[in-house]
C-alpha cells in the first residue's frame, strides 16, 4: 500500500487543506465531549503501545481538526428510531493522516446521513504524532508539503495508512458484531471516506480481510487508480459496490488514471463514478456552485438503487 502515488497524493492533499482550501492558522481549543464514544481496542492499539502524544483539537476558520489520536474509536450518531432503515456507514474523515477534519467530513455529513435513516459511526483512526504547540505543529506541516524542505527532512505521512486501515477493519468488525444492538442489517455495513479517509476506505475495500470488508464503499475525492493499492493490484473477487466521486479540477487526485473504475467494471462489479467539472478538493459539506455539490444526493440515490435505504 505504501506507494509513491499515495505519498505524493497525501502530501498534496494536506498542503491544500492547510492552504487554499481552509485559510488560516490552526489554534488549540478544549477537547469537546463526544457522546457515546466507543474505544476500538481494550488497551493500547496494536503497534501504538509506546505512543505518548496527547490528543489536540484545533480550530481553523469554521473547522475543527483532531490530531495525535493514539486510542482509536468510533462515535455513533444514530437516526430517530422511526426513521432508521438498518443501514450503517463507517464515516472516515480525511486530513493527510496528520489530523481528522471532524466537521467538514465528519459531523456535518453524519447529520445528513441520519436524516436519510442511516446509522453513522465516525471513525477516529490513529494519526501520526505532531507537536502539541502551534509552532511545532506548523513546522511539521511544513515538513510535509513545503517543496523547499530537503527530501531527507520530509515527513513520510504515508506511514499512517496501515494504521488507519487496521482501525477501519476493527470498526467494521465491531459494528457488524453489534448489528443487533443497533438494529442494523449486518449485510448493510458500508464505509464512506474523504481524501486520506477515501484512501483508507479504498484500501479496506481492496484488503483480503474476512468480516472486515464493507458491504459497499464511497470513495470521495480519493483514489481512482488500482495503483493506490500497490503495483499490480487487482480487483478482489469479493469487491463490494463502489461509489467514486472526484472533481476534474481536484489538484491532488485528478492526474490519476481510472484503472480502479475500469477494473471494477471489467470484473462485473457494481461501480458508479462521477467526474465533476468543478469543485476542487474538500467539497464534502460546503456548496461551491459546482456540480460536485450534488455528490451527497447522488450517493443517496445510488444507495437507494442498491436497496440500502429501504
Q: Global pTM?
A: 0.91
Backbone angles phi, psi at 128, to 5 degrees: -70, 150
- Using CA atoms, how far residue 276 sits from 44, 106, 248, in Å, is 41, 22, 6
CA 132 to chain centroid? 23
Give the pLDDT confidence of 172-224 residue by residue, as tens digits.
Answer: 999 999 999 999 999 999 999 999 999 999 999 999 898 899 999 999 999 99
Architecture of domain 4-305: 3-Layer(aba) Sandwich (3.40)
Instruction: Decide: 131 and 22 in contact? Cβ < 8 Å.
Output: no
How many CB atoms lie under 10 A from the CB of residue 58? 18
pLDDT of 30 strictly over 70: yes
pLDDT average, residue stretch 156-173: 95
Helix, strand or coil, per DSSP, at residue 27? strand
Please give the pLDDT value at position 24. 67
Give the pLDDT confidence of 229-249 residue by residue, as tens digits.
Answer: 988 999 999 999 999 999 999
Amino acid at each position: 500500500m505504501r506507494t509513491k502515488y499515495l505519498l505524493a497524493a497525501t502530501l498534496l492533499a494536506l498542503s491544500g487543506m492547510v492552504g487554499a482550501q481552509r485559510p488560516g492558522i490552526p489554534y488549540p481549543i478544549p477537547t469537546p465531549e463526544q457522546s457515546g464514544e466507543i474505544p476500538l481496542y481494550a488497551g493500547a492499539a496494536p503497534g501504538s503501545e509506546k505512543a505518548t502524544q496527547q490528543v489536540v483539537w484545533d480550530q481553523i476558520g469554521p473547522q475543527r481538526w483532531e490530531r495525535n489520536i493514539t486510542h482509536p474509536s468510533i462515535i455513533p450518531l444514530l437516526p430517530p428510531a422511526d426513521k432508521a432503515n438498518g443501514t450503517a456507514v463507517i464515516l472516515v474523515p480525511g486530513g493527510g493522516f496528520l489530523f481528522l477534519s471532524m466537521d467538514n467530513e465528519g459531523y456535518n455529513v453524519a447529520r445528513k446521513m441520519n436524516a436519510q435513516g442511516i446509522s453513522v459511526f465516525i471513525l477516529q483512526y490513529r494519526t501520526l504524532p505532531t507537536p502539541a504547540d502551534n509552532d511545532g505543529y506548523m513546522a511539521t506541516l511544513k515538513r510535509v508539503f513545503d517543496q523547499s524542505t530537503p527530501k531527507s527532512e520530509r515527513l513520510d505521512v504515508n506511514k499512517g495508512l496501515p494504521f488507519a486501515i487496521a482501525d477501519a477493519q476493527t470498526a467494521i468488525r465491531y459494528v457488524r458484531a453489534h448489528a443487533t444492538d443497533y438494529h442494523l442489517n449486518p449485510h448493510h455495513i458500508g464505509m464512506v471516506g474523504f481524501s486520506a479517509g477515501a484512501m483508507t476506505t479504498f484500501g479496506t475495500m481492496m484488503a483480503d480481510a474476512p468480516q472486515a470488508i464493507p458491504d459497499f464503499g464511497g470513495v470521495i475525492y480519493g483514489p481512482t487508480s488500482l495503483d493506490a493499492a500497490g503495483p499490480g493490484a487487482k480487483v478482489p473477487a469479493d469487491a463490494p459496490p463502489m461509489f467514486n466521486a472526484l472533481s476534474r479540477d481536484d489538484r491532488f487526485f485528478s492526474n490519476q488514471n481510472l484503472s480502479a473504475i475500469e477494473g471494477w467494471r471489467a470484473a462485473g462489479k457494481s461501480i458508479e463514478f462521477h467526474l465533476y467539472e468543478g469543485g476542487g478538493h474538500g467539497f464534502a459539506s460546503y456548496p461551491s456552485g459546482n456540480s460536485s455539490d450534488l455528490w451527497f444526493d447522488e450517493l443517496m440515490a445510488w444507495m437507494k438503487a442498491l436497496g440500502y435505504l429501504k
